């Protein structure tokens, strides 16, 4: 009877573990698929339109701009007037320039993918599975990935990346209070040569400089 009980228990445990094993395999496949798509673009340039919504769906902010990115970790995000800003990274530090405030903020770049979403498009993505639970839904040539951070101290609660073919289509982030920011990319070009000077910033004379 005891042997029968243990055999029954062992069989039950094995059966219960099957869904978790399948889930782990699905996550690994999704992470590998996303890694391949992201890694294929050593450089990227695009225009973007950005919309931020409150938890009840009310529009909080709309903006347009342009972006250029280069691995590893370099990017230049320019948001058009009237709320003009320029965000530049050389892979080690970030400059945030606000022309209206005549102010530049300089800080060391946080290289954690869960804290700097731009690094998903320009940084080291070899550790995606260590940082996120990842699922994917594919329909035709559209692949949609949902990334949920495994850590608690993150900039966002979840992040969605959508690709059409091999090119990024949009990125949507949701935070702890339900606020959503959606960035739609247009005129995406990848793997073109870029000047290194785009990823450095010359501080204009007369502006306030804040170092963090």
Q: Which residue ranges form the domains of the chain, and what is each CATH number?
A: 22-211 (2.50.20.10)
Q: Where are the beta strands (DSSP E) in 24-166?
A: 43-53, 59-70, 74-79, 85-90, 93-98, 103-108, 132-139, 142-149, 158-164
Block residue for tokens 């000047």: 195
Give the per-residue pLDDT at 155: 80
**pLDDT score, position 13:** 46
- For the chain (212 residues), the mean pLDDT of every run of 10, in chain order, is 44 48 70 89 95 88 94 93 94 94 93 82 84 90 92 86 93 89 95 94 93 84
The answer to whether the CB of 36 falls within 8 A of the CB of 125 is: no
Give the per-residue pLDDT at 142: 93
Could you tell me the strand order of the sheet in which 132-139 lies?
Answer: 132-139, 142-149, 158-164, 167-174, 180-190, 43-53, 59-70, 74-79, 85-90, 93-98, 103-108, 208-211
Q: Which residues contact 197 (CB under 8 A, 6 or more apart)?
A: none
Residue 180: other Cβ atoms inside 10 A = 19
73 three-class SS:
coil
* pLDDT value of residue 24: 57
- Residue 109 tokens read as 């770049």
Please name every residue paired with 96 in a beta bridge, in sequence order, or none if there are none: 87, 105
What integer pLDDT is reported at residue 129 of this predicted model? 85
Give the 3-state secondary structure of residue 64: strand
The pLDDT, as a whole number, for residue 23 is 53
């Amino acid at each position: 009877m005891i042997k029968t009980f243990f055999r029954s228990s062992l069989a039950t445990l094995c059966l219960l573990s099957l869904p978790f094993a399948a889930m782990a395999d699905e996550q690994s496949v999704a992470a590998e698929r996303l890694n391949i798509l992201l890694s294929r673009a050593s450089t990227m340039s695009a225009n973007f339109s950005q919309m931020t919504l409150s938890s009840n769906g009310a529009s909080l902010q709309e903006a347009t701009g342009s972006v250029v990115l280069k691995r590893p970790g370099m990017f230049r995000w320019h948001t058009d007037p009237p709320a003009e800003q320029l965000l530049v990274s050389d892979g080690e530090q970030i400059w945030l320039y606000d022309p209206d405030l005549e102010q530049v903020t300089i800080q060391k770049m946080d290289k954690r993918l869960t804290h700097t979403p731009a690094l998903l498009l320009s940084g080291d993505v070899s550790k995606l599975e260590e940082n996120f639970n990842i699922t994917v839904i594919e329909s035709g040539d559209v692949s949609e990935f949902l990334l949920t951070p495994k850590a608690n101290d993150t900039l966002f609660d979840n992040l969605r990346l959508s690709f059409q073919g091999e090119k990024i289509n949009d990125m949507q982030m949701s935070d702890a209070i339900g606020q959503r920011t959606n960035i739609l990319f247009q005129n995406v070009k990848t793997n073109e040569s870029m000047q290194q000077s785009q990823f450095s910033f010359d501080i204009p004379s007369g502006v306030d400089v804040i170092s963090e």
